[in-house]
Amino acid sequence: MDVNAKRGVKHVTAEWQMPQILDSLAKALNGTGPALRFAEQSNPSLESVPENIAVVVATSGTTGKAKEIGLSAAALFASARASNDYLGAAPGDTWSLLLPLTHIAGVNVLVRSLELGREPIDLRNTTLETIPTADFTAIVPTQLHRAVNESGFLLRHLQSAHRVLVGGAMLSGDLRKSASDAQLQVTATYGMTETSGGCVYDGIPLEGTEVEIREGRIAIKSTCLASYYLPTRPGETITPIADSDGWYLTNDLGHFDEGRLVVVGRVDDVIISGGEKISLRAVEEFLTPLVDGEVVAFTHPDAEWGERLAIATTASIEVDHWQELQGKIRISLGRHAIPQDIYRIAEIPRGALGKVDREKVLRTIKSKESR
């Protein structure tokens, strides 16, 4: 593919209504319109993309650093068709949209809907007391947790679906059991923006996807792989997602158990809380210059969020100062990067090489709480 052959980019904004989004997306996919960019923040430097790119999704990726990922129409259609085929979705069936379009999972719902010839039921900001039914939907574990524990309109909507895809973070066994007890038909998905979203369902790769384990890390080769990492600022270059053999090496750790992929953790320090990726290092580096002491970010298991973000610090932070810091984090890193718990400790535990021992931080906190 000639990366020098360009097409324009149109940035989707919050003001766009569903008919406009679907019409523009259809044109982007069939090549009669500009590529569409879905992102929370603008990127003025991204005015054009390689000709084969139909959609751009901005993501923090697996390093906490912002990335612009270019996806071809072929990859998005391959993902949508593999998903619809797996689920047994037929023309005329409906998807509901419960996820933001700034995430690949939300975009996927649109493409799957286009494939079925039906407009998705947009429930992202609904205030309806009676939620319509849909054949299929996709959510993150935090939404599932809220549904089964609050027993409100969302739960009834999910109960009406033939299948509920749950991705964006690890689905715990306890939460899956709660969903089953609530008569929900749940499928756990694994994937990322680089793979056009979920490409492994309940541990089984979808049609067109291969998975290998390389020194503990998950590697993926698929018809739904994205094409490029695109520039996030002037001077950066376009980088292919896959290697020369067509494989993408993820930063996730995993293994196979009786033929099913089991994801066990991440190579780096990026965690997923409520479906949002958060870099622990980014939180630490942002807060440390703003407080009179050291800061370490860590997580502990949480039934609602999956992983609950917290910080431990040697600084004494007053309530008013913490409220000010929360506002600064929201502006710079996003609301999802605001720690939900803050602890003061005498010193930050470190290993022999001076590296912060996050697990020991958590043990220290638990030890103090148990006294």
Q: What is the pLDDT of residue 370?
A: 53
Given the candidates 3.40.50.1000, 3.40.228.10, 3.30.300.30, 3.40.190.10, the CATH classification of the domain at 270-370 is 3.30.300.30
299 within 8 A of 271, measured Cβ to Cβ? yes
Compute CA distances 76 → 128, 222, 226, 266, whole Å: 31, 11, 8, 25
pLDDT for position 355: 63
pLDDT of residue 3: 65
pLDDT score at 226? 98
pLDDT < 70 regions, the chain:
1-4, 60-65, 127-129, 268, 351-355, 368-371
- HSE toward the beta carbon, residue 361, CA cutoff 13 A: 26
Q: Does domain 6-266 have CATH number 1.10.150.250?
A: no
pTM value surpassing 0.85: no
How far is Cα 141 from Cα 301, in angstroms, rounded to an integer? 13
Residue 249 to residue 204: CA distance in whole angstroms:
18
Condensed to tens digits (0 to 9), the pLDDT of residues 260-291 reads 999 987 776 777 777 887 888 789 889 989 99
Q: Enumerate the domain spans of the chain.
A: 6-266, 270-370
Residues 242 and 229 sit within 8 Å (Cβ to Cβ): no
